[in-house]
């Protein structure tokens, strides 16, 4: 297990005495860091914490009242602080992460007031890890469950929520939060399946805590109305719904009932009208509302109070798999990013080679992480990429990519007995353990080069390469070959990005001026 992510969370009770001097605080903070963190950049942690303390003093903010708002304000401040003003603007992902780590230290030590409403969280986390390990899941899912458990702990504290209050609404907020938590996680907002994973893992951990009686279980739902009570019992006994689901269903059905009237009078039009009215009240959860209404109708059918044909009166909510445009940037921006890569220090030489591999060949972060020394055939001028299918593919090695890798091998790669091409710059010179580290490298190169307004992550290069090739006239098939897609459907995602071409064939909107 990675040490960085398994730092225990132990919020101490608030200390009554005043916090000690800045110097003492800083020393204590630095010595509390894990070995991993300390070897990486103790000096930088110290600098970030000192700057933060200085800023707090300047604004008259007491240490014990620090919360997420204060940290966000600090991130945004236009720095005129003595000795730090060269760094404006302050917000840099790395500095922010270190400041948050410092705030977590202050909370752990009881200098800042936090009220988790839970005792001995580190022990529960450790027991949860054991429980996950005993399930013998594959490595990936097991790691997800473990790290999301820590993540939800960190986030609840940042959001100043109490464990006792946790429910589906809070878990939903957690799933979509814009992550800057002081744990080893991918930062920012998640897209696509990431929120589902967050929600699922958080629920799992919360259920675990409920099972142990650490946080109160959800009260069984009861209802005075005998009809509703029968529905709720049916949900529990025949559909195996949890109490929280039942609560949600009851709320929606109770609101719907007056709109619907007597079940014997229902027809398809009435059901649809009620659905439309109700889904306007809670936008964004239309498909859940369909499920809830169908479940209620099914119950009434079982009771003989409703015609079976009405089950199909409410249409499913249509979801389009390809409805979002892939994020991309234009070729000029890609060239600007590459040109802005400095190569003064070994780490910068390595990062430039990585950026070029991403930009020129559209590799995935995992491809870069897994690349071995013998994957490059210098004589033949190609590079072997394993990709998702584990079926190695050969790609031509462009001149500038080859030069950058050579420069890295000649002058910057540590002399370590490892066959991975890219290694960390600090001892013990290991290969990257996750592809998220490649995303971190991309973020840092943007920062070094002063590049703003580019979407985060390493996949942006892949999307941009595909988009720009298509715009330059390449066919879908050849783009699919370069990106090593196994199905042409995946490549078809990019067919939508040719906006100028799409605009030519778009029909004007009926009854309205074309826009």
Considering only 148-156, 246-254, 419-427, 467-475, which stretch makes contact with Zn ion by CB under 5 A? 148-156
Pair 371, 379: CB distance under 8 Å: no
CB of 145: closest distance to Zn ion in angstroms? 16
Residue with smaller CB distance to Zn ion, 189 or 391: 189
| Catalytic choice (388, 391, 394, 430) | 388
- Is 74 a binding residue for Zn ion by CB under 5 A? The answer is no
> In the complex, what is the shortest distance from the CB of residue 84 to Zn ion, in angstroms, rounded to a whole number?
5
DSSP line for 474-500: --HHHHHHHHT-SSHHHHHGGGGG-HH
Other C-beta atoms closer than 10 Å to the C-beta of 78 total 8
Q: Does 218 bind Zn ion (CB under 5 A)?
A: no
Q: Between 202 and 329, name the residue whose CB sits nearer to Zn ion.
A: 202
The continuous run of DSSP H or E covering 394 comes out as strand 393-396
Tell me whether residue 45 or residue 155 sits nearer to Zn ion (CB atom): 155
Contact (Cβ atoms closer than 8 angstroms) between residue 232 and residue 221: yes
User: Which residues are paired to 203 by β-bridges?
Assistant: none
Q: Pick from 155, 184, 231, 494 the residue near Zn ion by CB under 5 A.
A: 155
Whole-number Å distance between alpha carbons of 156 and 407: 45
Shortest separation between residue 9's beta carbon and Zn ion, angstroms: 13
Alpha helices in 285-412 (DSSP H): 286-303, 331-339, 346-361, 365-370, 399-407
Catalytic residue, chosen from 364, 413, 420, 446, is 364
Cβ proximity to Zn ion: between 81 and 436 the closer is 81
Taking CB under 5 A as the rule, does residue 84 contact Zn ion? yes
Q: Check 98, 278, 369, 462 and give the catalytic one.
A: 462
* SS (HEC) of 186-229: CCECCCCCHHHHHHHHHHHHHHHHHHCCCCCCCCCCCCCCHHHH
Give the three-state DSSP class for 330.
Answer: coil
Q: How many CB atoms lie within 10 A of CB 359?
A: 24
Name the token pair of 164. Answer: 């006792």
Active site residue 78: no
Give 275's DSSP letter: H
Contact 73, 61 (CB under 8 A): no
How far apart CA 371 and CA 384 sit, in angstroms, is 8
Task: Give yes or no for residue 476 binding Zn ion (CB under 5 A).
Answer: no
CA atoms of 275 and 269, how far apart (whole Å): 10
The answer to whether the beta carbons of residues 421 and 314 sit under 8 Å apart is no
The catalytic position among 101, 459, 463, 484 is: 459
Q: How would you class 398 by CB atoms within 10 Å of its CB: exposed for 0-12, middle for 13-18, buried for 19 or more?
A: middle
- Mutual angle of helices 399-407 and 346-361, in 10-degree steps: 160
Q: Does residue number 47 form part of the binding site for Zn ion (CB under 5 A)?
A: no
Residue 178 Cβ vs Zn ion, minimum distance, rounded to whole Å: 8
The answer to whether residue 364 is catalytic is yes
Q: Answer yes or no: 485 catalytic.
A: yes
Does position 81 interact with Zn ion (CB under 5 A)? The reply is: yes
494 among known catalytic residues? yes
Judged by CB, which is closer to Zn ion: 66, or 179? Answer: 179
Q: Which stretch binds Zn ion (CB under 5 A): 63-71, 78-86, 237-245, 372-380?
A: 78-86
Min separation Cβ 87 and Zn ion, Å: 7
Q: Is 227 a catalytic residue?
A: no
Q: Is 76 a catalytic residue?
A: no
C-beta of 181 vs 421, nearer to Zn ion? 181
Residues 171-190 that bind Zn ion (CB under 5 A): 179, 181
Q: How many residues bind Zn ion (CB under 5 A)?
A: 6
Binding segment (CB under 5 A) for Zn ion, from list 77-85, 233-241, 289-297, 416-424:
77-85
For Zn ion, the closer CB: 159 or 425: 159
Give how far the C-alpha of residue 343 lies from the chain's centroid of Cα atoms, to the nearest Å: 30
79 binds Zn ion (CB under 5 A): yes
Which region, judged by CB under 5 A, interacts with Zn ion, from 71-79, 198-206, 309-317, 338-346?
Answer: 71-79
Q: Which of 89, 220 has the CB closer to Zn ion? A: 89
Which residues of this protein are in contact with Zn ion, per CB under 5 A?
79, 81, 84, 155, 179, 181
What residues are labeled active site?
Answer: 364, 388, 459, 462, 485, 494
């Amino acid at each position: 297990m990675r040490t960085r992510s398994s730092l225990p969370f132990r919020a101490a009770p608030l200390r009554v005495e005043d916090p000690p001097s800045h110097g003492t605080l800083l020393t204590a903070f630095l010595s509390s860091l894990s070995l991993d963190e300390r070897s990486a950049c103790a000096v930088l942690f110290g600098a970030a914490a000192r700057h933060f303390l200085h800023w707090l003093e300047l604004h008259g903010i007491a240490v014990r009242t620090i919360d997420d708002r204060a940290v966000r304000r600090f991130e945004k401040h236009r720095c005129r602080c003595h000795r730090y003003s060269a760094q404006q603007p302050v917000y840099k992902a790395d500095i922010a992460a270190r400041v948050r780590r410092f705030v977590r230290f202050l909370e752990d030590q009881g200098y800042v007031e936090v009220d988790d409403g839970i005792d001995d969280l580190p022990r529960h986390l450790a027991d949860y890890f054991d429980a996950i390990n005993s399930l013998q899941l594959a490595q990936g899912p097991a790691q997800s469950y473990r790290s999301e458990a820590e993540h939800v702990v960190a986030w609840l504290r940042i959001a100043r929520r109490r464990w006792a209050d946790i429910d589906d609404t809070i878990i939903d907020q957690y799933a979509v939060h814009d992550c800057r938590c002081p744990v080893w996680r991918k930062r920012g907002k998640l897209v696509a399946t990431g929120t589902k994973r967050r929600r699922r893992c958080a629920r799992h951990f919360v259920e675990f805590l409920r099972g142990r009686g650490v946080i109160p279980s959800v009260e069984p739902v009861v209802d005075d109305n005998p009809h509703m009570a029968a529905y709720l019992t049916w949900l529990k006994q025949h559909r195996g719904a949890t109490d929280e689901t039942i609560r949600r269903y009851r709320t929606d059905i109770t609101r719907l009932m007056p709109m619907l009237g007597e079940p014997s009078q229902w027809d398809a039009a009435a059901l649809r009208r009620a659905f439309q009215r109700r889904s306007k009240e809670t936008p964004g959860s239309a498909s859940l509302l369909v499920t809830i209404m169908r479940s209620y109708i099914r119950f009434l059918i079982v009771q003989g109070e409703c015609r079976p044909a009405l089950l199909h009166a409410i249409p499913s909510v249509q979801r389009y798999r390809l409805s979002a445009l892939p994020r991309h940037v234009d070729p000029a921006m890609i060239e600007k990013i590459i040109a802005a890569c400095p190569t003064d220090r070994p780490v910068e030489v390595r990062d430039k080679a990585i950026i070029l591999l991403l930009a020129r060949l559209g590799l995935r972060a995992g491809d870069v992480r897994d690349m071995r020394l013998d994957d490059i055939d210098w004589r033949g001028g190609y590079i072997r990429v394993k990709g998702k299918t584990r079926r190695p593919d050969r790609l031509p090695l462009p001149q500038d990519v080859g030069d950058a890798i050579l420069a890295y091998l000649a002058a910057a790669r540590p002399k370590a007995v490892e066959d991975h091409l890219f290694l960390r710059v600090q001892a013990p010179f290991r290969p990257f353990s996750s592809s998220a580290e490649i995303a971190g490298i991309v973020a840092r190169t943007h920062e070094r080069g002063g590049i703003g307004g580019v979407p985060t992550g390493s996949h942006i290069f892949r999307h941009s390469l595909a988009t720009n090739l298509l715009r330059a006239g390449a066919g879908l098939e050849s783009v699919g070959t370069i990106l090593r897609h196994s199905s042409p459907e995946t490549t078809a995602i990019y067919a939508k990005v040719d906006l100028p071409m799409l605009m030519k064939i778009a029909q004007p909107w009926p009854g309205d001026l074309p826009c």
